[in-house]
Amino acid sequence: MRCPFCGNTETQVKDSRPAEDHVAIRRRRFCPACGGRFTTYERVQLRDLVVVKKNGRREDFDRDKLARSIRIALQKRPIEIERIEQMISGIVRRLESKGDVDIASDEIGQIVMEALARIDTVAYVRFASVYKNFQEADDFEEFVAELRPVAKGEEP
C-alpha cells in the first residue's frame, strides 16, 4: 500500500482488527520512509456498480469519491470517524443490494442525503446544497422540514 504522504510503496501493517461489525478490516499502517501513519479499510467488493449520470454518461462507481463528498459535508462536525465509515459502508451496501448494476446518480444523492439527515442536520444541508440545483427552493425547504425531526431525535 502506497504511503499517502511520501509515495513510498513499502509500508508496514502495524495492527489489523475487525471494524464496522466485521464487514471491514481496519489496518494501521506505518511508513518507514517518512514516519507517516495511516489507516486503511479492507472490504468485500460485492459487485461493480455503474453510475448513470443525468446526461446519460456512465462511470464506474467510486467508493472513495462518495466517501470524500460525505467527509467534506461532515467536516468539523462532532461525528466520530468510525461512525462516518460505518455510514459510508451502509450506503454502499444499500446500493449493492438494489439488485441492479446501473444506479442513477440522483438515487445515490438521495440515499446519501437520507443517511446524512439521520446523523447530522448541518452536514445534510451542506451536502444537499451542493448536490441539489435549487431549481425548486420550496420543495427543498419541505424536504428539510420533513427530515429535521428525525435528525434531532437522534442527537446524542
Alpha-carbon gap, residue 35 to 6, rounded angstroms: 10
Residue with cell string 456512465? 58
Q: Which stretch binds Zn ion (CB under 5 A): 6-14, 20-28, 55-63, 91-99?
A: 6-14
Q: Does 4 bind Zn ion (CB under 5 A)?
A: no
Alpha-carbon gap, residue 156 to 136, rounded angstroms: 32
Q: Does 92 bind Zn ion (CB under 5 A)?
A: no
Q: Does 38 bind Zn ion (CB under 5 A)?
A: no
Among 2, 13, 18, 34, which residue sits at the site for Zn ion (rule: CB under 5 A)? 34
Among 28, 36, 79, 144, which residue sits at the site for Zn ion (rule: CB under 5 A)? 36
Q: Closest separation between CB of residue 5 and Zn ion, Å?
A: 4
Rank residues 12 and 129 by Cβ distance to Zn ion and give the closer one.
12
Q: Which stretch binds Zn ion (CB under 5 A): 25-33, 48-56, 81-89, 118-126?
A: 25-33
Alpha-carbon gap, residue 31 to 37, rounded angstroms: 6
Alpha-carbon gap, residue 63 to 78, rounded angstroms: 23
Alpha-carbon gap, residue 117 to 154, rounded angstroms: 10
